[in-house]
Amino acid sequence: MLRIRRIYDNVLPVNKSTLSQVQEILRNQFSQVDEKEIDHIAEKLRNPFKQRFRTILFVAESIKAKVRGFGMLLHEPVLQFAYLDWIATASGRSGAGIGGALYERVRQEVAALKVKGLFFECLPDDAKDCTHPDELKQNRARLRFYERYGARPVVNTAYESPVKPGDTYMPHLVYDDLGTGRPLKKSFAVKVVRAVLERKYAEYCPADYVDRVVNSFKDDPVRLREFRYIKPEAVVAAVESRSVNQIALIVNDRHDIHHVNERGYVESPVRVKSILKVIEPSGLFTTIKPRPFPDKHLYAVHDTDFVGYLKRACAEVPAGKSLYPYIFPIRNKTRPPKEPSVLSGYYCIDTFTPINANAYLAARRSVDCALTAAREILDGRRIAYALIRPPGHHAERRSFGGFCYFNNNAIAAQYLCAYGKVAILDVDYHHGNGSQDIFYRRSDVLTVSIHGHPRFAYPYFCGFEEERGDGEGEGFNLNIPLPESVDREKYQKALTRALHRIEEFQPQFLILALGLDTAKGDPTGTWSLKVKDFAENGRMIGALGMPMVVIQEGGYRTQTLGKNALALFQGLVEGVGRSADSRHASNHRLYGVIFRDTIVPEDRQRVRRLVDITGFFHPEEVDVAEELVVERLEKGEPSGYHFIMAEHYGRLAGYACFGQIPGTASSHDLYWIAVHPDFQGRGLGRRLLSESERRIKAAGGSRIYVDTSQRVQYASTRAFYESCGYRLETVLKDFYTVGDGKAIYCKSLI
């Protein structure tokens, strides 16, 4: 079995391996490709507009993640065309239909981008241009393959003319109209040709060559070669693009077995029905059947004994009966009691989430739906919606509650984070305590929640602003609690703040924990969002332009649930569409850095972690970095160590440490400057340095000294100081070891 997956970057190990397999295929199949170009693929993915093209990479891989082929597409959003840079299969696999599957996937993507045409190059299939019989055969097979889609070489132009005298074997430029039947206009074609030659072959094609080729386009519309291999009527040109655009809808088909017929139990089956009734006829969704996933996904975020308990307890409760927790030990310091009715409180946070025969089955199916939605995203879909109940965002690692049993959005996030960083945006009226709990100590999943302040809203015990994450996860949990009365304006201000944080985090995937209980009139909420507010929120979230999994959480006013959900999804689609063409420079935006010069006890561990993770320092040096913090904490100012800490949403992003050199009138030493890898290359080091200089100057300092090693690894450090106005004062030869001297730089502040 083969599946085609889009690769977003090379940040994670799984993609690193995929990418190196792609590079290997390029090396093996195209010996003429420059090694430098092969190396650059990863960078192109990370910096989509570096070449003034957005790079989109698809791989066809086996179940065991072995790459069988890949397609690399360049998208030009301004001129509105796509250029297929590579399509290649691993050796010995060309006959397996992989190329065809990849090309069809590429066409779907291109059609969804709404560009005017797809272009690519193909080596010549005329015997006079290609003297090698095997290659000629291969080139003919390729052009025959593309003819099946109606794609043929542009003719009657100088595109194939040699760049230098003696150049032979020049490729054709092939045009695929994507089944639109649209003729290739000359004005459009020349822009495309210029862009391709100037950007892609910048180092190869001189300007006069580009002009010559561009000026050779005379026909309007530009002519394509006659069909050579197949009959025109045999062309299968239609592109199945709708499915790429549509939102995958995965409904929990077993949700209604979980029906708690008790007064006030608002989490009822009619919720799903009332949403479906409105969204289904919209044409915006395509229904996907939930697929079963193994239990290991539950264990990845929930404690084993908790999962086991829910399964067992639900199975033991007689049909039609519900068991409500009523006694709650102070958790974690107790032993689980034996009596089943008492035991439920050991795993639960409230008195209104019952254990009954069907709760486990329905909740387990919700998990399958959430994972099916996540899977859709991995396969390249932009939005997938798990319309499920029971909801999940109140379920913590080892507890259930708030109508929730398993944390669907956390399980989906955990599943996706093997492929890239994930942000969970929880817009339910109630704080997403479960997801916060599960990812509280992790930095690969960002949790953001906008909710009614716990002072008056469930779950009451958490959701406060100062809960920011812990350890590795410090700064990766953002709570935005809002007052009892919230209108559109207040809400959108909070949402903007949340989206900034997410953009800053640069995730590959977004999970939207969608509670519709923020709506006017919801029996569990106090806010007053209306249909058009949901549409606007959708547009704002969609504009992040990230692939997203939407997971249904709360929302209980059945009269408006459907309308609000539909408005939100229409907004999302609109926002995604708008963002697709405009996301360039956001990679370098750095919002929300705060500098402080006070030191707190937690800085000891933070500094240690940061210095360690940069990978630049020996273990002894890491110890020294920590010792300086300890000195400062113990002795204060007289320690002689001054710090500037750069904090980013409560997380230490970088710091500098400096002090006056004893025995000098006003010379200072810059002892440390370190920036967390996530923030490197974004100007933070420079800001820390100038902030240090400012403070040194204010304290009467006149000269700053900084030393570094002469080794090659420190070339960028040396270049950094030089570019900040530091002069190499002297080198102490063989200082660290033979051949590794100490380079001393100085900057005068007067």
Q: Which residues bind Zn ion (CB under 5 A)?
A: 428-430, 515, 517, 554
The alpha carbons of the chain give a radius of gyration, in whole angstroms, of 30
| 3 state SS for 41-91 | HHHHHHCCCCCCCEEEEEEEEECCCCEEEEEEEEEECCCCEEEEEEEEECC
Q: Which of 194, 208, 117, 124 is nearest to 160 (CA)?
A: 124
In 3-state terms, what secondary structure has residue 188?
helix
Question: What is the rounded CA–CA span in Å between residue 664 and residue 677?
Answer: 35
- Smallest distance from Zn ion to CB 343, Å: 26
How many CB atoms are closer than 10 A to CB 304? Answer: 11
Instruction: Please choose, from the candidates 588, 594, 671, 666, the residue with its C-alpha nearest in 3D space to the C-alpha of residue 632.
Output: 671
- DSSP assignment of 423-477, as one string? EEEE-SSS--HHHHHHHTT-SSEEEEEEEE-TTTSTT-SS--TT----GGGTT-E
Least separation in angstroms between residue 458's CB and Zn ion is 7
Beta carbon nearer to Zn ion, 322 or 526: 526
Which amino acid appears at position 334 of this protein?
T
Query: Which lies closer to Zn ion via its Cβ, residue 380 or residue 401?
Result: 401
Nearer to Zn ion, 172 or 557 (CB): 557
**Cβ-proximal residues to 418 (8 Å cutoff; 6+ apart), any chain:** 12, 14
Q: Contact, 284 vs 293, CB < 8 A? A: no
Q: How far is the CB of 517 from Zn ion (least distance, A)?
A: 4
Of 401 and 473, the one with the shorter C-beta distance to Zn ion is: 401
d(CA 126, CA 455): 77
Element spanning 281, H or E: none
* Beta strand residue intervals within 475-626, DSSP E: 477-482, 509-514, 548-552, 593-596
Q: Which two tokens stand for residue 636?
A: 């204060």
Whether the upstream peptide bond of residue 390 has omega within 30° of 0, thus cis, is yes
Min CB(516)–Zn ion separation in Å: 9
454/554 with CB nearer Zn ion? 554
Contacts of 83 (CB under 8 A, 6+ apart): 53, 73, 74, 76, 118, 119, 120, 192, 196, 200
Q: What's the CA gap between 671 and 706, in Å, rounded?
A: 7
394 tagged catalytic: yes
DSSP 232: G
Query: Which of the residues 258, 302, 394, 676 is marked catalytic?
Result: 394
- Please, what is the end-to-end C-alpha distance for the chain in angstroms? 69
Residue with the shortest CB distance to Zn ion: 554
3-state secondary structure of 115: coil
Q: Which is nearer to Zn ion, 362 or 593 (CB)?
A: 362
Supply φ then ψ for residue 633, to 5 degrees.
-65, -40
Helices (H), 280-400: 296-299, 304-316, 340-343, 359-378
Closer CB to Zn ion, residue 130 or residue 516? 516
- 174/188 Cα distance (integer angstroms): 14
Task: Compute the least distance from the CB of residue 430 to Zn ion, in Å.
Answer: 4
Comparing CA positions, the residue from 542, 513, 551 lying closest to residue 371 is 551
Residue 528: CB minimum distance to Zn ion, A = 15
Q: How far is the CB of 395 from Zn ion (least distance, A)?
A: 13
Burial of 619 (0-12, 13-18, 19+ CB in 10 A): exposed
Helix, strand or coil for residue 496?
Answer: helix
Residue with tokens 């959480």: 553
Inter-axis angle of helices 408-416 and 359-378, nearest 10: 30
User: Minimal distance in Å, beta carbon 451 to Zn ion?
Assistant: 8
Residues 6+ apart with CB under 8 A from 292: 368
Q: For Zn ion, which is the closer residue by CB, 515 or 562?
A: 515
Smaller CB separation from Zn ion, 430 or 501: 430
Nearer to Zn ion, 147 or 350 (CB): 350
Q: Residue 500 phi/psi, 5° resolution?
A: -60, -45
Nearer to Zn ion, 45 or 513 (CB): 513
Can you tell me which residue has the tokens 């509670």?
515
Nearer to Zn ion among residue 56 and residue 386 (C-beta) = 386
Strands 667-675 and 727-737, how do they pair?
unpaired
Indicate the DSSP class of residue 334: S
At 130, list the tokens. Answer: 């290609």
Residue with Cβ nearer Zn ion (474 or 517) = 517
**Separation CA 452–CA 503 (nearest Å):** 23
- How near is the Cβ of 560 to Zn ion at its closest, in Å? 15
Residues labelled as active-site residues: 394
